[in-house]
Structure 1
């Protein structure tokens, strides 16, 4: 399942068969880099061959995903930028996401910038690593591509892992389904997962796609963040790629804590 998540974060939305016995680098070359000219035409239809569309998508592909940050990064006014974003949302390339500030007792203090999600992982991958380096890739020189990809690949799957964690909760919470579920952020604090069930219970969580076991400090930090933003949590939820330390697992007996790993996502294959 670790491999499946990593490969889905790159090839999701691409209509090809992926052989997971092959390395991700080999698959990227076969299905994306060597098909650059074909895929470029497909992408041009999405962006209407407008360079400002491409600039905004590139700014969003790696970064904090906030509209204001992306517009500033590429030097586009808010009015022009939001018009492009609205069009891309209409084309179902992007999806707007709002911070779930309403779950905080500080919700009336201020409103933060919206964030944007790519609806297709492969389109996000394209604008993160391919589009900005098209000159070399077009000439089949992949050195610069691999340098950038290797610098960012560790965190690139994080957002996909978070989204899959959200979807997993929706599937398993059938009796007391998630009435609302998303993320919280403000100018200082980010929460990977917050939600409210049909019965009114508040959940908050952390999702870590890292190569080490999650320690008790992750739960401590999550609790402190929720305290700072005044979210009264009934159940804390952690999702991990590599599992948890023994110390953290023992806390399940005494606290309202749920622990999941990437292996739980095999449920999606059953569904």
Structure 2
């Protein structure tokens, strides 16, 4: 897996490593985001014991861990020690001036095999490692189990970590570094399908168009990505049927919890626990208008699937499984073609939000997001004190005209508390000449053309 833009995470690991004494880092995030690749890059050239946990019996895994420790430390006594705590105690006494790194990858599997493991590692840390020249890294992919075993207040390990890294999918500015493509529109199409998970990105062939890639890499029932969300969700939740139904409804355009509940014929209060679980698993996000003073208590929350690939899969693949299982790929692909431009236009708004910090905005904004109420909806809004950037995204196949600017200014009249307003238009296909001429004379108008921008 290519290693792109994990500088901040590497910096955290290096700082923990350079600390005097011990450190205890928890790395977590959903599968395929590059956690193991990050660890591999970090431990290069360092003294490190790396162990990948699995679902074998604890005794077998202890033997495997001892064997790996022996390979690194070249001390046969390690092989004769019986229990895991004693192994760690012996290893800790072998450290010298060079810090030893001990990595337990897929830690949640070890804890799932034996539920005493979190308490055992609490004891190992408190009684042995915390005063030694050792860096302990626990890494895991099943977010629900990592919360339960390592991060939650109820976990025996709570409060022990010196740092944690939540590895999330790449944003668009870093996603595009995987490709040798200058056409931003094509990159947005790829991003709309794949999202920012590095493992998924590797499957697409940039020499082919988007639909060839979708057909061969996602729709074919033997392709790697065909069942990927299915596998991930079934690992995370015990009763996936309701979760799948919720995600399908959201992917098809329902974002208010009341509307989602109505579509599923479920009482809203019975839906809440499922929604909260999907948020905990980093699959859903709750979005509120940027101007809300207390987002957690806002009644305007909307729910979106965080990952573009999951969104694409639940919009196009999951509802069409019956056709795909009998290899009617072209029928499903044609359905996608009819809707894909609409789907991508929503992702375009996401791309702008993720990339706007790269642009020359007239003021240093404090918050950025979207705005909506019963009267108006604004795609992009950045604010600071009495200043506001108000933006509209148009993923059209024709230039944006001056009427779009006029409509945006009309919307801005609802935002009474901002005295200084800037108007930003983001266009896939450029702008009409009269709009460009007006922007040259008026510094409050910002035009971003995909064909010319650095998004």
Deviations 1:137-173 (A, max 9, x none): 1221224423431231111012221111112222336
Listed as ranges, the gaps of 5+ residues in structure 1 are none
Which residue number corresponds to residue 259 of structure 1?
A: 447
CA contact (8 A) 1:239 1:260 kept: yes
- For 2:289, which of 76, 99, 107 is the aligned residue? 99
The structural deviation recorded for 1:51 is: 1.4
Of structures 1 and 2, the one with the larger relative CO (CA 8 A, separation 6+) is: 1
Q: Output the CA distance in 1 between the equivalents of 2:188 and 2:361.
A: 24
CA contact (8 A) 2:429 2:451 kept: no
State the structure with more CA Rg: 2
The structural deviation recorded for 1:50 is: 1.6
CA contact (8 A) 1:67 1:113 kept: no
CA contact (8 A) 1:213 1:240 kept: yes
Provide closer, same or farther for how the CA distance between residues 72 and 39 of structure 1 changes in structure 2, counting only shifts above 3 A: closer
- For 2:393, which of 184, 192, 207 is the aligned residue? 207
**TM-score, scaled to structure 1:** 0.86
Q: Output the CA distance in 1 between the equivalents of 2:217 and 2:375.
A: 39
Deviations 1:164-188 (A, max 9, x none): 1112222336894320111111234
Shifted more, 112-121 versus 1-10: the winner is 112-121
1:175-190 aligned within 5 A: 176-190=363-377
Provide closer, same or farther for how the CA distance between residues 125 and 200 of structure 1 changes in structure 2, counting only shifts above 3 A: same
How large is the Cα RMSD of the aligned pairs?
A: 2.5
Aligned residues: 260
Q: Output the CA distance in 2 between the equivalents of 1:245 and 1:251.
A: 10
Describe the SS at the equivalent of 2:366.
strand
Divergent runs of 4+, >4 A: 46-49
Q: Output the CA distance in 2 between the equivalents of 1:220 and 1:5.
A: 27
Q: Output the CA distance in 2 between the equivalents of 1:189 and 1:231.
A: 15
Listed as ranges, the gaps of 5+ residues in structure 2 are 1-183
**TM-score, scaled to structure 2:** 0.53
CA contact (8 A) 2:229 2:310 kept: no
Provide closer, same or farther for how the CA distance between residues 263 and 38 of structure 1 changes in structure 2, counting only shifts above 3 A: same
Provide closer, same or farther for how the CA distance between residues 173 and 115 of structure 1 changes in structure 2, counting only shifts above 3 A: farther
Q: Output the CA distance in 2 between the equivalents of 1:249 and 1:175.
A: 18
Which residue number corresponds to residue 317 of structure 2?
A: 130
CA contact (8 A) 2:365 2:382 kept: yes
Q: Output the CA distance in 2 between the equivalents of 1:149 and 1:127.
A: 12
CA contact (8 A) 1:195 1:202 kept: yes
CA contact (8 A) 1:194 1:203 kept: yes
Q: Output the CA distance in 2 between the equivalents of 1:131 and 1:39.
A: 9
Q: Output the CA distance in 2 between the equivalents of 1:37 and 1:100.
A: 36
Q: Output the CA distance in 2 between the equivalents of 1:142 and 1:4.
A: 24
